[in-house]
Chains A and B, each alone.
Chain A
Amino acid sequence: MGTKLLPGAVAFGLLASASILPMQAGADADFSGETIEFVIPFSESGGSAKWANFYAPLLSQALPGEPTVVVKFMPGAGSTKGANWFQNNRTDDGTVIFGTSGSTQFPYLLGDPRVRYDYNDWQVVLASGTGGVAYLPPDLAAQYDGNVANLADVDFIYGSQGATRLDLVPLLAWEMLGLNVEPVFGIKGRGDGRLMFERGEANIDYQTSSSFLSGVMPLVDDGKAVPMMTWGALDADGNIVRDPTFPDIPTFKEVCEATEGCETSGEAWDAWKAFFVAGFPAQKMVFLPGSTDAEIVEAYSAAFDAIKSDDDFGQTAAPVLGVYPQMTRDEAQGALQSATTVSDEATAFVTTWLQERYGVTLN
C-alpha cells in the first residue's frame, strides 16, 4: 500500500473553512505531503465511524507536516477481520493507524477462534472512554428505589445485539441483580433497542452515554423513561465510582450493594468488572504497529495531547464523544492494560455463563 493523492481533497480543502488553528507537535517526525490511513474495522455507519471521522481532521491539523488523514473502513467478522489485517500489516512509518472498539476487545478476551491478533504487538496512542446508562419505563421505575427487590417478578424484555457483544455487560449485571431479563437477539444497533423500548415492546434498555444524552434524555424529560443505573466510571486506583457525566444516577455497584443476593465480590462480580473495564472506560483506542519508531509514536502522542488540550475541544467533542477522558501516553497504556488483561477465572466464568444461560458457544 502506498501513498495516494486526493484530487478531490484539494478542492474541498479550499472550500472547507477550518475553524481550528494548526497545532504543530512532535519535533522529529514529519508527515508533509503524506496521506495517513486511519483504518476502522467497522462499516461507515457505526459509532466507531463517528469517532474516527471526528478525530481525522483534528489529527490532520495536529500532526507535524499536516498530512491528509483519511478514514478507511474495513468491516467484517465483527471487526476481527480488520484487526487480523492490522496484525499482518507491515507499514510502520506512521502512515497506517488502526482504531479498535470494545467489539474488538471482547472476542480477543473470550478466545474467539477468528482472533489472530494480539494487543501486545501494538502501541497505543489514544484511548477514549465512555459509559453506559440503563433505564426503565416510568411504571416499573415507580417500584424501584435504588434496590430491585420489587422488580424480581417482572418479565423484562431487552433488545440485544448478541450476548457476546458489549451487551454482555448489562445482561450479566441484570442477572446478578436477580432480574428476569429475556434478551431479544438480532437487533442491528442500540438505536433499534431504544426504539423497541419506545414502542413498549422492550421494558428495559441501556445506551452508551452519548446516545443516552441525545436519544433518551428527551424521553426522560417527557416522563417516558427513568434512568436506573450507570455502569460507573473508574477512578485513578481502578475503583468504580459515579459516572462524571451522570453524577446523580447511582452506579450498578451501589444498586448491587443495596440489593439482597447481589455481591460486589466473588467470581461473578470480578468477571462483570473485568468485562466492564474492557468494554467501557477504554472502549475505543488508536494503535500504531509495534515496530513503529519511537519518534513517530511520540509525534502521535503529542498530536493527541495537543488536540485534547485545545480550548474548544470540550465543546466540540461533547456531542460526538460524550464527556469522557481521552487518554494518551501512560494513561492510555494503563487503560489498554486493564482493557485487555482479564483473569482466566473471569473469562472462564463468562464463557460458562454464556453457554449455560444462552447456549452460545464460541467455537
Chain B
Amino acid sequence: MDLLATALPALNEAFALILQPQQIMFLLAGVLLGLSVGVFPGLGGIAGLSLVLPFVFGMDSVSGLALMVGLVAVIPTSDTFASVLMGIPGSSASQATVLDGFPMAKKGQAARALSAAFISSLFGGLLGASVLTFFILIARPIVLAFGLPEMLMITVLGLSMVAILAGRLPLKGVAAAGLGLMVGTIGEGDAGGSLRMATYDVPYITDGLKLVIVGLGIFAVPEIISLLRQDRAIAKDAQLGAGWYDGIRDWARNIFLSIRCSIIGVLVGVIPGLGGSVVDWIAYGHTVQTAKDKSQFGKGDVRGVIGPESSNNAKEGGGLVPTLIFGIPGSGSMAVFIGGMALLGYDAGPQLITNNLDITYTIVWSLALANVFGAGLCILLSGGIARLTTIRFTLLAPFLFMMISFAAFQSGQSLGDLVALFCVGVLGILMRRFDWSRPAFLIGFVLSTQAENYSFQAYQIASSRFRKGTFEGLEYIFTPIVLVLLVITALSIYYGIKQAKQIMPEGDVPTGAKRAPLVFLIAVSAYFLVSFFQATTISMVTDKLFPMTISFVAVVCCLLLLIRMIRSPETDAVFADREAEGEDADAPHGLWATLGWFALLLVLSALLGFILALAIFFALFLRLRAGLEWSRIALLSGAGIAFLCFLAGTLNRDFPPGLLQSVVELPWPLG
C-alpha cells in the first residue's frame, strides 16, 4: 500500500487547499467564464484561457490554478449546447454528440438530451479524477509503453469506426473517409513541407483546413440550410416533449455504458499525441456495438449522447497525465494551461509529481469539482435553453450564420476562412443529400495527419531496428499492446460491417433519378484522380506516398460504385438522393436559394467588412425571408450585432475586414 501512503496525505493537503472559500470563488469564476465562452463554437477554451492569462501572473498559485482549471474543465461540457441544439459540433470533443443529440432536439427532446449529456459529463469527470488520483503515480511507464506503432494502431482503431458509421453502403463510407483523409492532406506536408493540392500563390491553403471549419462546414451548414428551407422550428411542431428529468433517468439506466465510456476516455486521454479527436468516436462506436437495439442510432438514441459525453470529460482528466508528468500538452487548451502554470512558478514535468504532489492533486480535483459546478449549472439551464428549439428557425438562422462565420474566422483570421467554410459547407450539403457518411468523412479528416505521420515515423524507426536484426524489428512492431489493439480493430471492423446496415447515422434516405448522384460521384472521383497525379509530382517520398495510396484506394472504391450504378436500377441505395422525395424535396424553399443567403453574407463581408455586412444581411433576410416589420428587424439585428461586438471586444478578437476597409480606415468594430 505504498501507493496509498503517498497519495493520501497529498490528497488531504490538496482538499484543504481547494476547499477554501476564496479558491472556490475563483473556481466558480473560471467555470462561469468557461461556460460563457465555451457555448460559442470555435472559440472554446483557448480563447478563454488566453483572456485570463495576463491576470494569472502574480496571483497566488492555488487561486490561479483554480481559475484556469475551472475554465478548462467546462469547455467539453458547455460546447454540448451547440451540438445538441443546433447540430454544430462545438469542438472536437463533441462531434459524435451531434449524431444523436441533434435528432433528439428535432424530436422535441432537447432538454432530455442536454441533461443526459451533462450528467454523463459530470460522472465522466468525477470518475476520471478518481482513476487519475492513483493512476498518475504509476502512469509514467505505462504512457512510455505507447510508442509510435501503438499510437498508429489507436489511430487505425479510430479509423475503423468508419465501418460502423459508413451507412448503408460500406464502399461509400470508405470513399467518404478517403475523401476526409485526402482533404486532411491539403497544404504543406508535415514531414517535408511539400505542397499538396495547394500553391504558395494562395497562402491560405498552404496551412491546410482547420478542424473548426471542416466541422462547421460538414455538419452545421447543411443542417442550418436544411432547417431553414422548412421554415419551422427545430423541434417538430415546436413542442418540447421529455424534460431534463428524463435525461437523468436515461443516464441512470445506462450507468454501465457511462462507466465504460468514461474509462475509454481516461485511457485514450492519457496517451499524448492522440488528443481528444478520436475519443468521442471510439466511445460512440463502442456504444453502438454494445447496444442490443441499434435501430434508433442516428435518429435520436439517448445512448448515442451518453457514450461520447461520458468519455469527453473523462478525457480531460486523462489528458492531465501527459500534460503534468511529461510537460506535453494533450490539447491546445492544455498547452495554454502549461503556459499559465509556468507563470505561477510551476513547471510541468516529472518533478511536479515528485515534488508537488499536493499541487498535482489540487489540479486533478479542481477539475472534478469544476465539472460538478459546470455540469450542475448546465443541467439547471438546460430546460430553459432547450426552448430555443421551439423558436421559428427563420428567426434563428441569421444569428447562426453570424456565429459560425465569426467562429470560422477565428481559426485563421483571414477572409479565406469564410471562403473555406462556404466551400466545405457546399460539400457537406452534397454529402448529406447523396447519403455519403459525414461522420466517416470527419473521422478521416481528423485522423489524416496522425495516420500519415505515425505510419511514416513508425516505418522509419522499424526499418532502423530491422537493420540491427529481424528480431529487434519484430519486437518493436508487434508489442503486446499492438497485438491487442489489432484484435480489437479487427473485431470492430467485422462487427461494424455486419451491423452497419442497421445503423443509419443520417436516417433513411430515399432514392431517385440517376443523374445527380452520378454527377457527384464523378466529381469526387475526379478530385481523387487529380490529387493522385498531383501527389506523383512531389519529389519527397515522405510527402507523396500517403496521398498517393489513399487517393488510389479511394479511386478504386469510386470505380466499384460507378460499376454498381451502371448495373443497378434507380431504386438501388447507391442512388440515394434527399431531393428525390421526402422532407427536403417537399420543403417550401429551394436549396440553392437558401444557400444563396449565406453566400450573400460572405460576399458582403468581403466587400464591406463583417459588421456592416451583418447589418445589411440581417435587414434583408429578416424582411424578405422572415417578413418581419422594420421595428422588430432593427431590434433583433441591433441586439445581435451588439452582442457580437461585446463578445469580440472582451476576447480581443477582430472581425473579417473587406475591400472597404483596405481603402478607408474605419474605427473598430467597423474596420
Interface residues of A (CB under 8 A from B): 1-9, 12-13, 15-20, 35, 37, 43-46, 49-50, 53-54, 56-57, 60, 69-74, 76-77, 80-81, 113-114, 155, 157, 159, 162-164, 182, 184-189, 191-192, 194-196, 198-201, 211, 214-215, 218-219, 316, 319-320, 358-361, 363
Contact = CB atoms under 8 A, between A and B. Distances in A.
B57 interface: yes
Contact of B668 (A4, A74, A184): A4
A211 B668 CA distance: 40
Main secondary structure of the interface of B (DSSP, over half): helix
B467 interface: yes
Interface residues of B, number: 73
Interface in B622-671: 646, 649-650, 652, 654, 667-668, 671
B58 A20 contact: yes
B349 A214 contact: yes
B147 interface: yes
B144 interface: yes
A77 B200 CA distance: 10
Given A16-B55, A69-B54, A360 B460 contact: no
Given A77-B207, A113-B200, A218-B351, A182 B464 contact: yes
Contacts of B104: none
Contacts of A4: 649, 652, 668
Interface stretch (B294-302, B335-343, B521-529, B574-582): B335-343
Contact of A45 (B327, B335, B646): B335
Given A113-B200, A195-B326, A6 B668 contact: no
Contacts of B671: 1-2
A80 B654 CA distance: 19
A54 B193 CA distance: 31
Contacts of B190: 162, 185-186
Contacts of A37: 652
B59 A16 contact: yes
Nearest to B272: A195
Nearest to B476: A201
A184 B461 contact: yes
Main secondary structure of the interface of A (DSSP, over half): mixed
A201 B332 contact: no
Interface string B163-195: 000000000000000000000000000111100
Interface string B412-428: 11100000000000000
Interface string B30-46: 00010000000000001
B193 A162 contact: yes
Contact of A186 (B56, B413, B453, B461): B453
A158 to B, nearest CB: 10
Contacts of A2: 667-668, 671
Contact of B461 (A3, A69, A157): A157
B342 A184 contact: no
A63 B112 CA distance: 53
A81 B54 contact: no
Nearest to A217: B351
A305 B329 CA distance: 33
A1 B191 contact: no
Contact of A57 (B58, B207, B413): B58
B147 A199 contact: yes
B250 to A, nearest CB: 37
A71 B539 contact: no
Given A49-B336, A182-B464, A185-B190, A44 B50 contact: yes
The 7 closest A-B pairs by CB, nearest first: A45-B335, A2-B668, A185-B191, A12-B55, A186-B453, A16-B55, A214-B347
B59 A157 contact: no
Interface string B456-486: 1100110010011000000000000000000
Contacts of A194: 326, 328
A16 B61 CA distance: 11
B275 to A, nearest CB: 10
A253 to B, nearest CB: 29
Contact of B203 (A71, A77, A211, A215): A77
Given A44-B336, A195-B273, 12 more contacts: A7-B649, A8-B650, A17-B59, A44-B339, A54-B57, A71-B50, A74-B413, A113-B200, A188-B273, A195-B326, A319-B347, A359-B539
